[in-house]
Homo-oligomer: A and B are copies of this chain.
Amino acid sequence: MQVKICNATVTCLDQLGYAETTFAEVQAKAGISRGAITHHFPTKQALVAATAMRLLGNAQNPLWPHDRAPQPVYDLIMSAWANIVNSAGGRAIVEILVACRTDPALFGMLEQSLRDWDKSNLSLISARYVSATGNRDDTELLWSIARNFLRGLLLHEKFVSSPEYLMQMMDRFARMMESQLQVLPKNDVEEVE
């Protein structure tokens, strides 16, 4: 049930935005009663926060499975855009991030979790890629930059002159990152908790 509610919330956030994501709308989209939602999530912030946590859990990189070699930098960036950031879940996350900026209650619920996710996500990726400088902090900086660029691109998407131009931006950015990062050779991988 909670899964069903959160999924409907993601759809609402994506299609309607944070403000228009109302209990009534989620209820209709999920095909359940009002009481079911308020029982599990007493406030709107609790509903959205729970949805965010679920999204982050799912997005904890389905992109590089443990048992296969890491993707090339270029491919990873491209598929991160297509499969994560520019997906219903990715767009929902951006709605939530924006809402956090001006909704103190929501921010309080998510601040620590988002910080932790950020750290663990960077740890995970830094274990498989390395900056041309060999510096681990630099690797994390570069991937942080990539994530922020992709999120920013989401805001620009509807105003881009053509879909091809957006792809050119992606390509140019990915090539630039490619020149700064490389896949770690397998024997150099040190497992991170």
Q: How many A residues have CB within 8 A of the partner chain?
A: 47
Q: Is the CB of A145 within 8 A of B158?
A: no
Residues of B within 8 A of A147 (CB): 152, 156
Q: Does A68 lie at the interface of the complex (its beta carbon under 8 Å from any beta carbon of B)? A: no
- Report the nearest B residue to A177, measured CB to CB: B176
Q: Is the CB of A94 within 8 A of B98?
A: yes
- Report the nearest B residue to A168, measured CB to CB: B141
CA distance A138 to B153 in the complex (A): 17
Within 8 Å by CB of A101, from B17, B118, B142, B176, lies B17
Q: Mark A146-189, 1 if CB is under 8 A from B, else 0.
A: 01111111111011010000001100110010001000000000
Chain A interface main SS type: helix
Q: Does A19 lie at the interface of the complex (its beta carbon under 8 Å from any beta carbon of B)? A: yes
Q: Which of the segments A31-39, A58-66, A107-115 contacts the partner chain? A: A107-115
What 12 additional pairs, Cβ within 8 angstroms, besides A94-B98, A97-B159?
A17-B103, A18-B19, A94-B155, A101-B155, A111-B159, A114-B159, A115-B161, A118-B159, A141-B168, A145-B149, A148-B169, A150-B152
Where the two chains meet, the residues of A that have a C-beta atom closer than 8 Å to any C-beta of B are 15-20, 91, 94-95, 97-103, 107, 111, 114-115, 118-119, 137-138, 141-142, 144-145, 147-156, 158-159, 161, 168-169, 172-173, 176, 180
